[in-house]
Structure 1
């Protein structure tokens, strides 16, 4: 099947809620219509929180650290814990019918295989980097340092495998911000109750590993080429506005956006930050 790519990278980044709402719409559509998508997106200076993050004891103090760094918080609609987004981070979502990946492990392995083919110069391993932010079984690392985190969402007959990829920029500073968030939010309980004791030294970027600067555009091109090779299918750009109209998905997207807005109402109770 043809794979359609959607580019919402900077400077064309969407509102903070749109990538998450769109993922749900595309995932449901992929399952119903046997269609595949690859969605590239970025958000400027954002700490994306999991629902578990909103339950830390001192949330206001934690969010204060985010605001001091001139970042904004947004609560996503999938599992996991907090991750940083900025102009050096690329988010990639592979979205396809679930019959192409019957188990969660198989779906994650598709993302690992994609990244490995895009960057064959280095061995990319999949195992938990315990002291990274948002640690998980399918953390992707090079030489023991995490370069990407993954998550998965299944809606009806569709699957979305999502990856944030640290391409360039100051990964140590990203790690320090998340560490301060948890230190302020947990106090003496830092590193307990399922929240990571973040150590910035456990993480790195593609640019640091390879000793050269990668641009977001270059990485997107590598990934699209790898996607074509892996699947032996064309990867074609998609005009999102036209697609939403033609496939009558605009209303479904509006519903998902409303859901994201409601999910983020809780932030207004403890901070003046506005993720919109």
Structure 2
């Protein structure tokens, strides 16, 4: 599992890799990925150990807390049932994104104690990582700038030829930080965007602050498979990503389990506050 690649900033050291395909928490379903991310951030800080986390879900809409503040939020929620997607509210910032088996979620997780990792440097780490993974092997360079009419728009939207393929966010807990990416590998990106467009069209009532929520144009988003014009699987992408690291498989010990259970309880409380006590 070792390679001889010369280190660049984002991959210094030996990384422990955690993949949702082998995690012991599947019984907790979609909550597990977010609770585990928080556990991994805490663990990375406590042990000064960099980590890499991969996960996918069944069809799922992941809302940010800002999405719950729109004027007709409850009236808009049935949209997701119509599209046969589950829905949860995540524990990090931003707006709604879509997750399903064609979307890979990736977190670069670093200890950030002695030398605090800046927000800008964290974003640059993820950008360097994705650019090195795909370019120049594939023909189009991946760039970072806001794709205004995409869902969950931001300064570090990743795009190919002007069409968004991925978004980046960050989460910081104690002495650890996660730079989190969703990247659309394959599947129906138009349908993903249309679903969230309908959510906002039904949910926004005009009382919301101007410019805070997206005016989604589905055509400004795409998948890696479509952009490159070649079949591409999630497993192939993970394998290509791992080539940039010296790594070993991470283990789930008692300490990790304790961090996980604490984070899981917080996720469940947050979602019960939004959706009611019967949720989960």
TM-score by length of 2: 0.88
Q: 1:23 deviation in Å?
A: 1.2
Q: 1:103 deviation in Å?
A: 1.1
> d(CA) in 2 for partners of 1:190 and 1:146?
25
Q: 1:267 deviation in Å?
A: 3.9
Alpha-carbon distance change, 174 to 202 in structure 1, aligned in 2, over 3 angstroms: same
On the 8 A contact 1:129/1:146 being kept in 2, the answer is: yes
2:249 to 234, 237, 262: 237
> d(CA) in 1 for partners of 2:92 and 2:204?
22
Q: 1:12 deviation in Å?
A: 9.3
1:96 to 107, 110, 119: 110
1:199 to 217, 241, 244: 217
Map 1:242-261 onto structure 2 (within 5 A): 243-245=252-254, 248-261=255-268
TM-score by length of 1: 0.89
1:80 to 65, 71, 94: 94
Match of 1:129 in 2: 147
Q: 1:13 deviation in Å?
A: 8.8
Map 1:9-20 onto structure 2 (within 5 A): 9=21, 14=26, 15-20=29-34
Runs (5+) with no aligned partner, structure 2: 1-12
Count the aligned residue pairs.
Answer: 262
Q: Are 2:160 and 1:146 aligned?
A: no
> d(CA) in 1 for partners of 2:171 and 2:185?
23
Alpha-carbon distance change, 159 to 193 in structure 1, aligned in 2, over 3 angstroms: same
Runs (5+) with no aligned partner, structure 1: 229-233
SS at match of 1:217: helix
Q: 1:214 deviation in Å?
A: 0.7
RMSD: 2.2
